[in-house]
Structure 1
Amino acid sequence: MVKELEQSQDPTWRDKLRAWWHGDDYVMRHMVQDYSTRPQQQPVIIEPEKPVLELPTIERWTPRRQQIVQKLFGDGFNQPGGEELMRPLISPLGLNPNMSITELGCGMGGMSRMMAREGLWIDAYEPDTDLAGAATEFARSQGVKQHINIKTQPLDELQIKRKSVDVVLSKDGLMSAQDKRLLLAKIRAAMKPGGQLMFTDFLLTGPTESRTYEVWWEREPVKPHLLTPEGLQSELESLNFIICYMEDVTQELKSTVIASFAKYAEEVKLLGKLANENERDWVISEGEHWAIRISAMDANIIRLYRVYCRVMD
């Protein structure tokens, strides 16, 4: 599927990424394009390239991919932004060690570790077994494992005791949930009186018939089923959540992604030599993945929202 997508894209796409690799920062800022005007092309037979150490993938969080994304986004993080984008999620909540805190889609566990260093106790759920394993190892190596209970479980199978949680958090971790309505209902049932829900999630803000949407949807390894902003608001209100705010934070994410790749390119230049071909191919694969996401954001097909809710009973 990825091969077919690559064949349907502009033939200069990889050339642009390689130009960025060699230090053209302008390319990184302008390589994201709206794919909606691109006609589908007939598959082209391409001769296989010479063997590499390990072929890049976005389908699984292999050890090699984990190594690459940490070079891009920082040690212990598989998503861009690190603690800089996580801090706004927890700062309004007035967290203290007496609270029961649940994080959904914790990835490599960066936000849970940040809270654990402040003496908080967290139940962290991560559907991907490889990421959950990495989160466990990072928590152990940083001396906070006793504060974080990491559980490997699909979010659609989430089971939390009723009225047992003070705070539910998630940073871009809900895309794997295929039934958002059911997940929100489970979260609501688990919350204590006065509970708080804070999360960021992609919402559908444009037509699904466009070529841009098709390319993005096909590229995502876990097929997303998104709510619209209006749909999310309706679902939250029907569950008696009080919505404190829903804000579009797409630009924050986009700026962070571009800055991460630009910083990596600069570090490579400072070394005075290129990384090996295998690493370059992995970085380009991640660059394509994020550029296609940003293309969908720029076309207003999807947008990232930060949402904060409370419950009274």
Structure 2
Amino acid sequence: MTDKDDNGGHGPNLKTRLYAWWEGYDLSGMKGKKAEAPPPPPPTEAQGPGINRWGKPLWTATRIEVAEKLWGEGFNTPGGAEHIPYLVKPLGLNPAMSVLDLAAGLGGTSRTMAGKFGCWVTGLEASELLAKEGMVRSFKMGLEKKAPIETFNPEHFGYPKRVDAIVYKEGLFAVRDKDQMFDGMEIVLKPRGHLLMTDYIAEPDKIGAKAIQNWCDKEPMQPHLWNKDQMANAFAQRNLDLRISEDISDTHRHLILSAIQGLVEHLEKHQMDASTKMAVMEEVEMWVRRVAAIEAGMRVFRFYAIKPAE
């Protein structure tokens, strides 16, 4: 990120202000001072559902608390309840429809769809802790039947029922075997079913950019990025009619920067213990790396496709 804030204003940038908060510095004395988070440990082969590439649980209670402070209650990725209706508009959701929400996280997207459009949503999430906490939140809102959150393994995807629509928000990039995931989604969709996906992609001439490689090296779930043609081919090979292929990178970047801005403003007024501080720094660092990767040429796309009638 540059030394301008997202609105082009000068002065300490978000990262500088965050480190000032971390160190307890007076912001006016921060000129020229740089800090970096400690490097992550070397990766292991232990990555699995809910486990990061260093063999640790991807989510903890503290990380969930930090994520909800960033993205809003029930959300752990960009785009809260006000953003979801725009995102899923192509689906034409209504109370007669059944929906699978893959990479459901804490279930905010699932509950927003069920609450606003009356459809029946099942959220599937790889992390047991996120799924459990998501289900707690669905119960709290009286949506345990209309928006339950369950666990699944995205590397071995299957589902026993057919559904009218699938929503998959920024999850496929971390799946190694994307072909089995596409096969599974095609099987699960009813004829004339809808598939809406947002994901990170990178073209061959951009993938080597330093900021993109830095993100790939440090992201908790190792990215396996496809390019736009690979995504389009995956839809075509399964006879899924790709109707929308839209670059939403600027919107995604703005959602991240606005959330970090809000978090920094909150932190400058609040004290917290050392473990929460560390979780805040790790979470913000992760999203700052994603923004840097987007600025270096990684893209965020929204894909929308329809399965043909039988």
TM-score range, shorter chain: 0.7 to 0.9
Which residue of the partner structure matches residue 293 of structure 2? 296
The code of the aligned residue for 1:257 comes to: I
Which residue of the partner structure matches residue 43 of structure 1? none
Kindly state the Cα deviation for residue 59 of structure 1 after the two structures are TM-superposed: 5.6
Where do 1:297-312 residues align within 5 Å?
297-300=294-297, 302-312=298-308
Which residue of the partner structure matches residue 170 of structure 2? 172
Distance in 2 (alpha carbons) for counterparts of 1:251 and 1:19: 27
Distance in 2 (alpha carbons) for counterparts of 1:264 and 1:155: 31
Task: Go from structure 1 to structure 2 and tell me whether the alpha carbon gap of 1:58 and 1:256 turns closer, same or farther (over 3 Å shift).
Answer: farther
Distance in 2 (alpha carbons) for counterparts of 1:308 and 1:75: 27
CA RMSD of aligned residues (A): 2.8
Which residue of the partner structure matches residue 38 of structure 2? none
Kindly state the Cα deviation for residue 148 of structure 1 after the two structures are TM-superposed: 2.3
Distance in 2 (alpha carbons) for counterparts of 1:113 and 1:121: 9
Distance in 2 (alpha carbons) for counterparts of 1:154 and 1:101: 18
Distance in 2 (alpha carbons) for counterparts of 1:246 and 1:161: 29
Where do 1:206-217 residues align within 5 Å?
206-217=205-216
Distance in 2 (alpha carbons) for counterparts of 1:23 and 1:141: 41
Where do 1:1-313 residues align within 5 Å?
17-19=18-20, 60-117=58-115, 118-161=117-160, 164-205=162-203, 206-269=205-268, 271=269, 274-300=271-297, 302-313=298-309
Kindly state the Cα deviation for residue 222 of structure 1 after the two structures are TM-superposed: 1.3
The SS at the match of 1:132 is: helix
TM-score w.r.t. structure 2 length?
0.78
Which residue of the partner structure matches residue 43 of structure 2? none
Distance in 1 (alpha carbons) for counterparts of 2:78 and 2:300: 13
The SS at the match of 2:239 is: coil
User: For each residue in 1:53-77, what CA deviation from the matched residue of structure 2 results, as whole angstroms up to 9, or x when unmatched?
Assistant: xxxx996210011111111211111
Kindly state the Cα deviation for residue 15 of structure 1 after the two structures are TM-superposed: 5.6
TM-score w.r.t. structure 1 length?
0.78
Deviates more, 1:61-70 or 1:275-284: 275-284
The code of the aligned residue for 1:124 comes to: G
The SS at the match of 1:112 is: helix
Distance in 1 (alpha carbons) for counterparts of 2:63 and 2:180: 31
Unaligned runs of 5+ in 1: 1-12, 32-56
Kindly state the Cα deviation for residue 142 of structure 1 after the two structures are TM-superposed: 1.0
Distance in 1 (alpha carbons) for counterparts of 2:16 and 2:95: 51
Unaligned runs of 5+ in 2: 1-13, 35-54
User: For each residue in 1:109-149, what CA deviation from the matched residue of structure 2 results, as whole angstroms up to 9, or x when unmatched?
Assistant: 00111122243211221111111111111001111001123
